C-alpha cells in the first residue's frame, strides 16, 4: 500500500464489511492507499457529513460508499463533496435482496450524481476508482493495463483448457484441489 490514502471506503454498518472488504483487497492489489470508515446517513448523519466535507482535504480522490436497504449514504456523501462517489448497493440480507439499495443509489435526481455498480459490486467499485485515479497517474494507468492483460490471459487459458479437455472433463477453476467457492471465480 502507498503512504497516501487516496480512496475512502465507507459503509453504513460493520455488517457490510464482508462485501466491502473486496474493495480494500482490490485497492491493495494496485498499491492504492485507502481509509475505511463506518458511517450511516441515518444513524450518524453528522459524522457522514463531516466525513464528506473533509475528504478532499485529506487527499481522498474517490469515495466508495456501500450501503444496504434504503441506501442514502452515497447520495448524502456526494451532496457534501465534489469528490466522485461510487455507490455499492448491498444486499443487507433482510430487505429486497439489494434491489432496494440499487434503486436508491442509481436513481439520484439530476445535479448530484453517484456512480453505481451492481449489487455487492465492491470489486468493480475499486477497479473504477483505480481507473479514475489513473487519469492523473501514469504508473497506475500501466498497472491497470497490466491487470487487464493478465485477466485476458487467464480467460484465454481457461478457454484453451476447455477446448483441450472437452466439456465433460472440464471443471471450472481447475477442480477439487481449489478452495471452496474458488471454482466460481473467473477473475
From candidates 7, 13, 22, 117, binder to ligand RP5 by CB under 6 A: 13
Does residue number 12 form part of the binding site for ligand RP5 (CB under 6 A)? yes
Cα 11 off chain centre by: 11
Taking contact as CB under 6 A, which single stretch among the options 7-15, 111-119, 140-148, 173-181 is the one that binds ligand RP5? 7-15
Taking contact as CB under 6 A, which single stretch among the options 8-16, 113-121, 147-155, 179-187 is the one that binds ligand RP5? 8-16
CB 12 within 8 A of CB 68: yes
Question: For the range 91-98, what are the long-range contacts, defined as Cβ-Cβ under 8 Å and sequence gap of 24 or more?
Answer: 91/19, 91/119, 91/120, 92/15, 92/16, 92/68, 93/68, 94/69, 95/68, 95/69, 98/68
- The interface with ligand RP5 within residues 37-76 (CB under 6 A) comprises 40, 67-69
Phi, psi angles (nearest 5°) of residue 118: -70, 170
Does residue number 22 form part of the binding site for ligand RP5 (CB under 6 A)? no
Give the nearer residue to ligand RP5 in terms of CB position, either 3 or 14.
14
* Number of amino acids touching ligand RP5 (CB under 6 A): 11
Given the rule CB under 6 A, which residues bind ligand RP5?
A: 11-13, 15-16, 40, 67-69, 90, 92
Amino acid at each position: 500500500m502507498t503512504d497516501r490514502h487516496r480512496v475512502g471506503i465507507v459503509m453504513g454498518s460493520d455488517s457490510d464489511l464482508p462485501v466491502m472488504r473486496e474493495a480494500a483487497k482490490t485497492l491493495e492489489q494496485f498499491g492504492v492507499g485507502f481509509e475505511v470508515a463506518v458511517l450511516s446517513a441515518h444513524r450518524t448523519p453528522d459524522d457522514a457529513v463531516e466525513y464528506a466535507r473533509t475528504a478532499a482535504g485529506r487527499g481522498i480522490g474517490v469515495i466508495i460508499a456501500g450501503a444496504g436497504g434504503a441506501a442514502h449514504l452515497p447520495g448524502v456523501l456526494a451532496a457534501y463533496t465534489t469528490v466522485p462517489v461510487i455507490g455499492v448497493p448491498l444486499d443487507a440480507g433482510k430487505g429486497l435482496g439489494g434491489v432496494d439499495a440499487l434503486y436508491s443509489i442509481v436513481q439520484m435526481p439530476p445535479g448530484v450524481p453517484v456512480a453505481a455498480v451492481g449489487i455487492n459490486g465492491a470489486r468493480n467499485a475499486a477497479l473504477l476508482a483505480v481507473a479514475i485515479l489513473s487519469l492523473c497517474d501514469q504508473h497506475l494507468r500501466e498497472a491497470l493495463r497490466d491487470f487487464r492483460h493478465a485477466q485476458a490471459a487467464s480467460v484465454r487459458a481457461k478457454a484453451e483448457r476447455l477446448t483441450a479437455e472437452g466439456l465433460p472433463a472440464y471443471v471450472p477453476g481447475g477442480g477439487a484441489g481449489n478452495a471452496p467457492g474458488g471454482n466460481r471465480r473467473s477473475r
